[in-house]
Structure 1
Amino acid sequence: MIDIAAELREWCAADRPFALAMVVDVQGSAPRPPGTCVAVDAAGDVLGSLSGGCVEGAVYELALEVVRTGRPQRTSFGYDDSDAFAVGLTCGGTLDVLVWPVVDETSRDAVRHVLRSLAEGRPVALATVVDGPADVLGTVRALTASAATGGPPAHPDADRISRALLASGSPGTHRHDTNGTHLPVSDEVVVFTAVYVSPPRMLVYGAIDFAAAVARIGAFLGYHVTVCDAREVFTTRKRFPDADEVVVDWPHRHLRSLADADALDERTVVCVLTHDAKFDIPLLELALRLPVGYVGAMGSRRTHAQRLDALRATGLTEYQLSRLHSPIGLDIGARTPEETAVSIAGDIIAAHSRASCRPLHTTNGPIHRPATPLWQGGP
């Protein structure tokens, strides 16, 4: 939905009736991943693409019918379908598509919630009943970490599981029985949760030369990078051209504003490079209480020890203190700002993957491993 968000926002603002066609399951090879959407309005205008092939025409006709009748429909395109040959499913893949109407305030509110969250840079999920009784098929519910709108939950456990998928940043299908028990292979109510996430945030506090290198490598890794410092003379766009945002503010106040706006998640990386206790302590006290994925702070081992004493005095627990990566970075002998940025980036990646940081030629087993959430909760 991200690729059609701007135009879809206009349709919703005008209360234009339309149908959304979403890829809800893929088996084998398929041209687009689950969560991909196409919108078709009553006049036949189209936003987006599912495949670029003949499936497009079939979905288009189905969407027009759904807008006209108001009844959701699910269909599949597989290797045996003549349409499938044209869209790259000849290796045996199957593409399942659910088409549902967005013609009333309930469904429109859910779509608006998704679009508003995307515009604000907040991760959002769209949970849709893709299989089950006819009266709940196509029920949609939009969820952020702290709010939900749209239709009612398909099941008492549905919101919890959808939010877990949102936290992981990955879509998923969950099945429920009618007795209120979540079962992995139940055939009663099936919910597909599409997850739409903005780029993860890297928050770099401290407008120093090392911060410029960290911002550069953060942008290279795909983060939305913010550099923040309270000192206006140092915190300029000219000094940090690779940052997406350059903010003049007290670091802890800036971080609190993001937390209050629900703009942080377990993918968020906080790099504290200020070397100044009046900035570091209030900032780190707040960061270590938040469910962000990585908190690192620059400084010597002596500075680190003094910092821990000061943070203990604020009431932080030993578990919370254990989350602090300080001194920040990996031991690779880094000296220059650029080498230090590589060291910090390596530490962030290793924390995300739970990797050993050993040279690959000294290890056994798979080189690539599934990523795990940086933030796993705790006391």
Structure 2
Amino acid sequence: MAARIAESPEWIAPEPRAAFLSDDAIDILSFSADALDDGHASALVTLVEIRGGAARAIGAQMAVRDDGLYCGFVSGGCTEAAVAADAVIALKKGMDRNLRLGEGSPFFDIVLPCGGGITLAIHVLRDGAVLRRTLTALRRRSPVRLRYHPGTQALSFEPGEGASGWEDDTFVRAYRPKPRLVLAGTPMEAGAVARIATASGYEVVTIERGQAPSPDQLDADTAVALFFHDIDRELPLFDAALASSVFYIGALGSRRTHAKRCEALRGRGHGEDDLARIKAPIGIFDKARDANALALSVVADIAETYLQAARASALPLHRVRRCAYRDPTRITGRTTMAERRYGEAAPKTEITIAGADWYGRQIERERHDKTLFSDLDMSEAQTLGAVFQECTFRRARFNASTHQASAFVNCTFVSCKFFDSRFTECKLVGSLFDACDFDQMQVSGGDWSFTGLPGAVLGRAVFKGTRLREADLTGAFCKRGSIRDADLSGAWLHAADFTACDLRGSDLSAIDPANVHLKDAIITIDQTIVIAEALGLDVRMT
């Protein structure tokens, strides 16, 4: 980092140093509030813009004191000291400021490992009351938001849920309570899970034998994991969990045991939608043979589910409403993506299939209508001419699967994995993909028009000769991927990242070069002319 020259002989900026290492929101806000109470000036640094890739999500924060002590992260740890030094100068001047690092930054000596760029808002705190209100709400397990007003350099408190990001000329930082894990069952398994969950930052509540969790212990930021070897003992706990809004319910046992469990729960009045919420066998991999392996599997599964749920809830409403179905009256009998995503007119589910094992199965010309597939494993399966109409897939695995001339029409995919899958001449018109993994997926031909892929991480996915007319690729990340000879006419591409992506032969008429990342993209001369004309440049061939 370049050396700084003191602004006056009387003042030399203190050298920044980390007070402690944490990226927990409560720790960061508490550090700032305590600093103000102790007579220190304090600044809150927030990640408000990402250009390309970044180590942290929008809304990541640091807290910095006037003596150079700081906590929190806005990157991977390589820039935090430099950020703290800039925040100390802001505190000295008593004025907010913005700091750009990485791509597009004037500081060429500070390079982000991810190769992207970030913008940070450094806010000099004038009053700790707003932080104390936020901390009180979070400790009461209530979601809250802090709204930053750059024009007036003020911070205001708002109760309720929301997404972190810009709203007009203000930036909103949304906070949720610390995730909680409610455990019950045999001491060996439950104890191992409790130790790893505590080390991972979860609030752990252990339910003693014969007891049941209270309703206030089961909120939307809570997971429930049961480790009994007796179905009868777990049924009252399932009654409580299924009546709540917890984001995860898992139970120990084989698929055969789970089938018996489902029959017992049906006898207690629980429907198929309730049963589809239960993850069994619990964890990210089956047949863990010891308590520690089981604990790693369970906590990883809960963490992934919580992250996917947080991403889904943080998807701004306006991004989905500005999707392919801008005029739903054009296509009769179809609901808008916003309606299906937010449940305003959700398609009716007539059949539920939970935990099915279709690994390596050959599926020829089968038809499924309005079916809910929960935790389906279709890895290495093959479909030929199959039709899935208005189906919902939750946490399904399509890894290394092959699909030929099949149709997934008006379907919804939530937290599904498509790693190294192949779709050849398939029809996915009108389907919505939410928080799915598409790395190394290969698509040849077919019709993906009107699909919803907002914010999708396409990784090294390949689309060849595919129709993507009026698809929603808002904010999609396709760095080093390939979308060749594709029809992108009318597609929504705002803030999409096509860095180093092969776009040769694709229709780029829908691209706004000012709002799409095209650095190092591979394009033809004709496509270059289209982009230049979109920028208002006078192009002359010589």
Same fold (TM over 0.5): yes
Instruction: Name the residue aligned to 2:460.
Output: none
Deviation for aligned residue 1:309: 0.9
Kept after mapping to 2: 8 A contact 1:213/1:337:
yes
Kept after mapping to 2: 8 A contact 1:7/1:47:
no
The yes-or-no answer on 1:46 pairing with 2:68 is yes
- Of the two, which has the highest radius of gyration? 2
Q: Which runs of 5 or more structure 1 residues have no equivalent in the other structure?
A: 143-147, 149-158, 166-171, 177-188, 232-248, 373-379
Match of 1:308 among 266, 269, 288: 266
Instruction: Name the residue aligned to 1:27.
Output: 51
Kept after mapping to 1: 8 A contact 2:68/2:85:
no
The yes-or-no answer on 1:230 pairing with 2:208 is yes
Give the count of matched residue pairs.
Answer: 291
Compared CA separation, residues 59 and 371, structure 1 to 2 (3 A): same
Q: Report the residue type matching 1:20 in the other structure.
A: L
Instruction: Name the residue aligned to 1:87.
Output: 110
Distance in structure 1 (CA, Å) of the matches to 2:70 and 2:225: 38
Match of 1:97 among 120, 132, 136: 120
Compared CA separation, residues 306 and 331, structure 1 to 2 (3 A): farther
Distance in structure 1 (CA, Å) of the matches to 2:143 and 2:121: 19
Length-normalised TM-score, structure 1 = 0.58
Deviation for aligned residue 1:293: 1.6
Compared CA separation, residues 210 and 129, structure 1 to 2 (3 A): closer
Instruction: Name the residue aligned to 1:207.
Output: 186
Deviation for aligned residue 1:287: 0.9
Q: Report the residue type matching 2:202 in the other structure.
A: H
SS at match of 2:86: helix
Distance in structure 1 (CA, Å) of the matches to 2:212 and 2:280: 18
Kept after mapping to 2: 8 A contact 1:38/1:46:
no
Compared CA separation, residues 9 and 53, structure 1 to 2 (3 A): closer
1:105-184 matched pairs, under 5 angstroms: 108-116=128-136, 120=139, 122=141, 126-129=145-148, 134-135=151-152, 137-141=153-157, 148=159, 163-165=161-163, 172-176=164-168
Distance in structure 2 (CA, Å) of the matches to 1:97 and 1:269: 33
Distance in structure 2 (CA, Å) of the matches to 1:230 and 1:322: 26
Deviations 1:101-134 (Å, cap 9, x if unpaired)? 4324xxx23211344456x495855433355xx3
Q: Report the residue type matching 2:148 in the other structure.
A: V
Length-normalised TM-score, structure 2 = 0.43
The yes-or-no answer on 1:251 pairing with 2:304 is no
Compared CA separation, residues 6 and 100, structure 1 to 2 (3 A): closer
Moved more, 206-215 or 338-347: 338-347
Kept after mapping to 1: 8 A contact 2:31/2:63:
no
Kept after mapping to 1: 8 A contact 2:104/2:117:
no
SS at match of 1:140: strand
The yes-or-no answer on 1:63 pairing with 2:91 is yes
Distance in structure 2 (CA, Å) of the matches to 1:90 and 1:334: 36
Deviations 1:52-91 (Å, cap 9, x if unpaired)? 4555433322232236xxxx44454565655x23332598
Kept after mapping to 2: 8 A contact 1:206/1:273:
yes
1:238-317 matched pairs, under 5 angstroms: 250-253=211-214, 256-259=215-218, 264-266=219-221, 268-274=222-228, 279-298=233-252, 300=257, 301-310=259-268, 312=269, 316=270
Deviations 1:151-183 (Å, cap 9, x if unpaired)? xxxxxxxx6xxx243xxxxxx31334xxxxxxx
Deviation for aligned residue 1:193: 2.0
Kept after mapping to 2: 8 A contact 1:350/1:356:
no
Kept after mapping to 2: 8 A contact 1:297/1:324:
yes
Compared CA separation, residues 272 and 351, structure 1 to 2 (3 A): same
SS at match of 2:111: coil
Compared CA separation, residues 126 and 76, structure 1 to 2 (3 A): farther
Instruction: Name the residue aligned to 1:193.
Output: 173
SS at match of 1:98: strand
SS at match of 1:85: coil
RMSD (Å) for aligned C-alpha atoms: 4.5
Distance in structure 2 (CA, Å) of the matches to 1:3 and 1:295: 28
Deviation for aligned residue 1:343: 7.2
Compared CA separation, residues 52 and 211, structure 1 to 2 (3 A): closer
Kept after mapping to 2: 8 A contact 1:252/1:279:
no
Distance in structure 2 (CA, Å) of the matches to 1:78 and 1:339: 40
Compared CA separation, residues 230 and 276, structure 1 to 2 (3 A): farther
Q: Report the residue type matching 1:265 in the other structure.
A: A
Instruction: Indicate the structure whose relative CO is greater, using CA pairs within 8 Å and at least 6 residues apart.
Output: 1
Deviation for aligned residue 1:219: 6.3
Kept after mapping to 2: 8 A contact 1:201/1:223:
no
Distance in structure 1 (CA, Å) of the matches to 2:226 and 2:114: 49
Deviation for aligned residue 1:291: 1.6
Distance in structure 1 (CA, Å) of the matches to 2:244 and 2:155: 33
Higher helix proportion, which one? 1
